[in-house]
Structure 1
Amino acid sequence: MEDATHSIMDLAISEKRLEPYKKEARKHPGVEAADLYRWNTLFSGVAVTQISFVEMSVRNAMDKELILWARANGYDDWLGKTPQPEWFEGHETAPLSQAPPLIEELLGADQIGKLWYSCRRVYRIWEKNSNHHKHGQYPNRHDAFSHLMFGGWQRLLGPTDFKSKDPAVLKRAAAARQLWKEALYKAFPEMTHSKVNDQQRVKLLLDIDRIRRLRNRVSHGENVLSIQTDLYLDKMLAVLSAIDPYISDWVMDQTGRTYRTVAKLKYYPELLQSYQQNDPLPSSQEIVAYELTSSGSYSGEEVIEAQLKNSQSHGGRTFMTVGKPPDSTNKPQPREILLVDAGGKKAAVGEIVAYGYGNNAQPPKGYEPPAYEKRYQKRKAWFAVRNLYEVDCQGGRVIGYQTKDGQKVPGCFTGQVTMRYVCHD
């Protein structure tokens, strides 16, 4: 049967396309290229659905504030004035705009006109089909709004080329700062708390850019075997929580749990098949969480930053010691570690490769501590951590994480706690 599967795959998929799956499969005994290709296809479908909720939430939140802003500045709509019915019926090619200059600067002077021309093409399709639910109607601003792609909404937050000296890029960046200050910061109240801060715009822009790039990759069936799936999910939850934490929780219930479960099953083809057949899967993932105080020479924020940099410079690997070992009595072995500084301003999550006890901790091969760790020898526990990445703290909590009794992190901390994913499982 295995040979038959390979034969079919060889006919259906080119050797070049299959090569990365074969290469990855060779690293994992018992896993075939066909298994990884199936996982990639299934995960991509789940990711597209998850990202669609993010896109809809972002555009609705931004649109609401842009409408109010445009009207307050004397415009009918930030999308320009809706054309008259005869325009949709005719062949007039005169440029359409009448949108605020900031919008034209960020989207491009002709982009609004292109949206309306797309609506005119759609109108003609409606008219040719008497069974269409919009037959006999003219497009409105909501139709134009729906034609603006995710990349267009990102453009309203500014360019990502922060080092560019190009005058056009600099002009767009200035326009984005102004639009954020005048309107768009209100679309993300849980991030801004009614205070304008351009660093928040930049962070949001980078998160949305990362999510959009993933959307493009999974939409085109690209290989996503090497991505950090949890990192992307955390970014999605952070963007949604910036709008409203209830939206984040709701989306997690709709598709986030499926996203996370499928992501975990990359190298477990039998479990993946069981999941596809609706067999229940146990949820035994445990996370050990540490609150890092400023009682020593370094603040918790500085320790986390040092660990992140050490991980980046050592191929995603880092090593740390702590004063209190994880409480694993009668509990599943912890698989991940969550670090939060006492002020709740910085947090990071990583995979636990190994952990142990004792004062003379020796890093496993390939796992080196950052410089500050070398001063401390008398620690009670150590962790070898892989793929450490920063997660978002908003309003004194870490997005997506709760203890088993439902308390938010880091408010729940009394030193070290062990917890399960709740909203983030």
Structure 2
Amino acid sequence: MSSYLHACGEDISRSLRLYEWNMSAGSAVMATTGTVEVIVRNAIDRQLLSWARRKGHQDWVGVLPLDQRGRDDVAKARSRATLRGRRPEEHGRVVAELSFGFWRYLVSQRYHASSWVPSLHKAFPGAAPDIRKRRRDVERRLVSLMLVRNRAAHHEPIHRRDLLADLEDAIELVGWVHPEAGAWVGTVSALRQVANARPT
């Protein structure tokens, strides 16, 4: 409780109210970032499938040039998706098993030449026209959203974060995939109401 007590001048009653609010904020963060993750991963997956088919492959899983970390992530996802080989591999299941971190690293500088330039920049048509800036903008928002998502997932304090800025990052990022998707995230997310209800 130290973070909450410190923020509330050691007042236990106020600290508990802030802790309870933090739980609600964490739930709103998880729902919002979960929506962002699904939309972003599906947009990236669509471009990777198109890239793979242009290269004569049916699937990008197993052929996308990844570093060791990326290969390990894909191997784990394939294992989970097939129940360690007990059921046939389905592309959608593998994609669903890949973590938020996998998609975030896929837009990092290390994959700029191998993946971003040939295909991934097309997943965010509404972002900056310059594809270098586009990658940096997408990565920055994914990093920020992953950070707050991880804190919420581990029940850590997020009461000092600007959750309205996090929501704007989410809306903007998804809006770069499609404007209507961004508007939808802004409509369904509870973050604005929760942020505005933060106890003083």
Cα distance in structure 2, aligned partners of 1:146 and 1:199: 28
Q: Percent identity?
A: 24
Task: Give the match for residue 168 of structure 2.
Answer: 234
* C-alpha distance in structure 2 between counterparts of 1:111 and 1:31, whole Å: 44
Q: Residue 227 of structure 1: CA displacement? A: 0.8
TM-score (norm 2): 0.91
Equivalent-residue separation in structure 2 for 1:263 and 1:254 (angstroms)? 14
Does the 8 A contact of 2:49 with 2:60 survive in 1? yes
Contact residue 187 and residue 243 of structure 1 kept, 8 A: yes
- Which deviations, in whole Å up to 9, do the C-alpha atoms of 1:163-185 show, x marking residues without a partner? xxxxxxxxxx2x32341111011
Give 2:146's match in structure 1, choosing from 212, 234, 241: 212
- Asked if 1:176 is matched to 2:112, the reply is yes
Which of 57, 60, 64 is equivalent to 2:46?
64
Which residue does the alignment assign to 1:367? none
- Deviation digits for residues 250-289 of structure 1 (CA, Å, limit 9, x no counterpart): 121112xx21111112125xxxxxxxxxxxxxxxxxxxxx
- The aligned counterpart of 1:114 is 76
Match of 2:61 in 1: 79
Structure 1 pair 52–219 and aligned structure 2 pair: CA distance change class (3 A): same
More helix by share: 2
Matches within 5 A, 1:17-416: 18-26=1-9, 32-80=14-62, 99-100=63-64, 102=65, 104-105=66-67, 107-121=69-83, 124=86, 138-158=88-108, 173=110, 175-192=111-128, 195-255=129-189, 258-267=190-199
Maintained 8 Å contact 1:185/1:196: no
- The unaligned stretches of length 5 or more in structure 1 are 1-17, 81-98, 125-136, 160-172, 269-425
**What's the Cα RMSD here?**
2.2
| 2:167–2:186 Cα contact (<8 Å) kept | no
What are structure 2's unaligned runs of at least 5 residues? none
Cα deviation for residue 73 of structure 1 reads: 1.3
Please say which structure displays the higher CA radius of gyration: 1
Structure with the higher fraction of residues in strand conformation = 1
Q: Tell whether the 8 Å contact from 1:106 to 1:176 is kept in structure 2 after alignment.
A: no
Conserved? CA contact 1:71–1:77, under 8 Å: yes
Contact 2:43 / 2:123 at 8 angstroms: preserved in 1? yes
Number of equivalenced pairs: 200
Amino acid at match of 2:134: Q
Amino acid at match of 2:122: K
Instruction: Specify which structure has the bigger relative contact order, considering alpha-carbon pairs within 8 angstroms and separated by 6 or more residues.
Output: 2
